[in-house]
Amino acid sequence: MKFLKRIGIPLIALYLLIIFMLLAFQEKIIFQSETLPQDHVFTSSIAFEELYLKAWDDAILHGLHYQQENPKGVLLYFHGNARTLEYWGKWAEDLSKTYNYDVIIMDYRGYGKSQGKRSYDSMLADALLFYDFAKTKFSEEEIIIFGRSLGGAFATHTATQRNAKLLLLESTFTSVYEVAKKRFWFLPLQWLLKYPFQNVKNIQQISIPTYMIHGTNDAVVPYEHGQILHEKSGSGAKKFYTIQNGEHNNLINFPEYFQALGEILNN
């Protein structure tokens, strides 16, 4: 019995320490955020506008609106969990120029110039805030909701709350829980996750045309997540694009990726 106590008590203490560490640092795991000075100057080869939208709690969310003279519509783009609009803005600019769409893209709370205390509900509400801004410029039939990786959670949430022309998901997970349990299988994650972002429930409620792109060699969000989302999708017009040998962060190196974007966005 004494031996069991000597072994068991340290193991329990270690287990509780791991739980505490996950609670304390899960934001840093999920949100690999960087900030930008408020006087940071963005540059672009096309017209753009900086956006500062006020959230329900008076937080200020920063975004960029890239503009074309005669756009086919607007892409409301939700980026991944790392970097800021200094990086993602270049990609948004390329999308705008290549496919002749306006692009509206935001930085999440704690990213770039965006401010405000993070919470699960607040971040989802922020996504709707930017959709509602897009709707002041375009009709619902001209809005495409595009989410990449973590951004897919904001994209599917928005698509359940608002109408749009179509939904496009790239390298998106079924749920944070399913991703996390691969690493922390021994923890009661369903009670520990403060940001239980999920797409698998949302996707079943979405009936607008839905397109998904995923690489087969994605080690961050396994390819199977995309397959499950496609299978569960409630859309009657859906298509899944497989990028053979594509990883999580290198799909732009594959011609098939741009062929997929062209087919989706040029319709």
Same domain, 26 and 52: no
What pLDDT digit, counting tens, does each position of 226-259 carry? 999 999 999 999 999 999 999 999 999 999 999 9
- CATH number of the domain at 74, please: 3.40.50.1820
Confidence of residue 6 (pLDDT cuts 50, 70, 90): low
**Residue 181 reports pLDDT greater than 60:** yes
Residues of the domain holding 19: 1-30
Q: With 90 as the cut, is the pLDDT of residue 194 above it?
A: no
- pLDDT above 80: residue 95: yes
Please check the confidence at residue 264 and state whether its pLDDT lies above 90: yes
Task: Mark whether 226 and 110 lie in a shared domain.
Answer: yes
Backbone angles phi, psi at 8, to 5 degrees: -70, -45
22 and 42 fall within a common domain = no
How does residue 193 score in pLDDT terms, banded at 50, 70 and 90? Answer: confident
Rg (CA), the chain: 20
Task: Say if residue 186 is in the same domain as residue 58.
Answer: yes
List, in order, residues 6 or more apart from 100 with CB less than 8 Å away: 68, 70, 71, 72
Number of domains into which the chain is organized = 2
| Shared-domain flag, residues 18 and 111 | no
Q: Are 9 and 100 in the same domain? A: no
Q: Do residues 129 and 80 share a domain?
A: yes
- Based on the fold, state whether residues 23 and 152 are members of the same structural domain: no
pLDDT at 88 over 80: yes
Predicted model pTM: 0.92
Check whether residue 25 and residue 86 sit in a common domain.
Answer: no
